[in-house]
Chain A
Amino acid sequence: MNRIATAASEEPSYLGGEHSIKSWLLTKDHKRIAVLYLISVTLFFIVGGIAALLVRLELLTPAGDLLTADGYNRAFTVHGIVMIFFFLIPGIPAVLGNFLIPLMIGARDLAFPRINLLSWYLYIVGGLIAVVTILLGGVDTGWTFYTPYSSVYANGAVVLTGLAAFVAGFSSILTGLNFIVTIHKMRAPGMTWFRLPLFVWAHYATSLIQMLATPVVALAILLVVIERAFGFGIFDPAVGGDPVLFQHLFWFYSHPAVYIMLLPGMGVMSELMAAFSRRRVFGYHIIAFSSLAIAALGFLVWGHHMFVSSQSPYAGLVFSILTMMVAAPSAIKVFNWTATLHKAEVRFDAPMLYALGFLGLFLIGGLTGVMLGTLGLDVHVHDTYFVVAHFHYVMVGAVVMAFLGGLHFWWPKMFGRMYPQLPARISAVLIFIGFNATFFPQFVVGYLGMPRRYWEYVPEFQIYHVMSTMGSFVLGVGYLLPLIYLLWSLRYGEKASENPWDAVGVEWLTPSPPTSHNFHETPTVVWEAYEHEMFPGSEVASGRPAAVPSHSRLAEAD
Chain B
Amino acid sequence: MNHSHTAESDARLFHQFADMEQQHESWSLGMWVFLASEVLFFGALIFSFLLYRSVYWPTFLEGTHELDLVIGGINTAILLTSSFTMVLAVYTAQNGNHRMAAFWLIVTSLLGLAFIGVKIHEYGLKWEHHLIPIQGLEFEWHGEHPQQARMFFSFYFTLTGLHALHVLVGILAIWVVAYRVAKNHFGNDYMPVEIMGLYWHFVDLVWIFLYPILYLFRA
Contact = CB atoms under 8 A, between A and B. Distances in A.
B135 A231 contact: yes
Given A216-B40, A240-B56, A249-B48, A230 B26 contact: no
A232 B37 contact: no
Given A177-B34, A181-B29, A211-B33, A234 B41 contact: no
Contacts of B133: 230-233
A302 to B, nearest CB: 12
Interface string A283-306: 000000000000000000000000
B150 interface: yes
A185 B26 contact: yes
B117 interface: no
B37 A173 contact: yes
B15 interface: yes
Contacts of A185: 22, 25-26, 29
26 contacts: A2-B1, A2-B3, A102-B16, A107-B16, A108-B16, A111-B16, A111-B30, A113-B16, A177-B37, A181-B33, A184-B26, A186-B26, A219-B44, A219-B45, A223-B158, A226-B154, A230-B135, A231-B133, A234-B48, A234-B151, A240-B148, A245-B48, A245-B51, A249-B44, A249-B48, A522-B1
Contacts of A214: 37
Given A181-B29, A522-B1, A233 B15 contact: no
Contacts of B3: 2
B77 interface: no
A332 interface: no
A112 B25 CA distance: 12
B205 interface: no
Interface string A236-278: 0011111001000100100000000000000000000000000
Interface in B27-61: 29-30, 33-34, 36-38, 40-41, 44-45, 48, 51-52, 56
Contacts of A186: 16-17, 22, 26
A108 B34 CA distance: 23
A233 B154 CA distance: 7
Given A185-B25, A215-B38, A223-B158, 9 more contacts: A102-B16, A111-B26, A111-B30, A173-B37, A178-B30, A182-B26, A226-B154, A232-B150, A240-B151
Contacts of B154: 226, 232-234
Contact of B16 (A110, A184, A213): A110
Contacts of B29: 180-181, 184-185
A249 B25 CA distance: 33
B118 to A, nearest CB: 23
Interface in B143-174: 145, 147-148, 150-151, 154-155, 157-158
A319 B52 CA distance: 23
Interface string A155-173: 0000000000000000001
A200 B34 CA distance: 20
A180 B134 contact: no
Q: Is chain B's binding surface mostly helix, strand, loop or mixed?
A: helix
A430 interface: no
Contacts of B41: 215-216, 218-219
A230 B22 contact: no
B150 A239 contact: yes
B16 A109 contact: yes
Contacts of A215: 37-38, 40-41, 44
Contacts of B44: 215-216, 219-220, 249, 252
A212 interface: yes
Given A108-B16, A252-B44, A234 B26 contact: no
Contact of A211 (B14, B15, B37, B51): B37
A406 B51 CA distance: 44
Given A181-B33, A226-B158, A239-B151, A109 B15 contact: yes
A180 B40 contact: no
A517 interface: yes
Nearest to A518: B16
Contacts of A173: 37
A2 B3 CA distance: 9
Contacts of B30: 111-112, 177-178, 181
Contacts of A184: 26, 29
Contacts of A181: 26, 29-30, 33
A56 to B, nearest CB: 36
Q: Report, nearest first, the 5 A-B pairs whose CB atoms are least far apart.
A: A231-B135, A215-B41, A232-B154, A109-B16, A239-B147
Contacts of B34: 177
A483 interface: no
Nearest to A213: B40
Nearest to A517: B15
B209 to A, nearest CB: 15
A474 B120 CA distance: 61
A1 interface: yes
A41 B57 CA distance: 47
Task: Give the one of B17, B48, B155 with max A CB within 10 A.
Answer: B48
A242 B155 CA distance: 14
B151 A233 contact: yes
Task: Give the one of B33, B34, B151 with max A CB within 10 A.
Answer: B33
A165 to B, nearest CB: 15
B36 to A, nearest CB: 6
Task: Give the one of A185, A231, A233 with max B CB within 10 A.
Answer: A185
B174 to A, nearest CB: 19
Contacts of A107: 16
A218 B37 CA distance: 11
B18 interface: yes
Contacts of A249: 44, 48
A177 B40 contact: no
Contacts of A223: 45, 48, 158
A73 B157 CA distance: 34
A187 B114 CA distance: 44
B146 to A, nearest CB: 9
A212 B37 contact: yes
Nearest to B51: A245
Nearest to B153: A232
A40 B44 CA distance: 32
B201 to A, nearest CB: 19
A231 B136 contact: yes
Interface in B106-142: 133-136
Nearest to A184: B29
Interface in A190-221: 211-216, 218-220
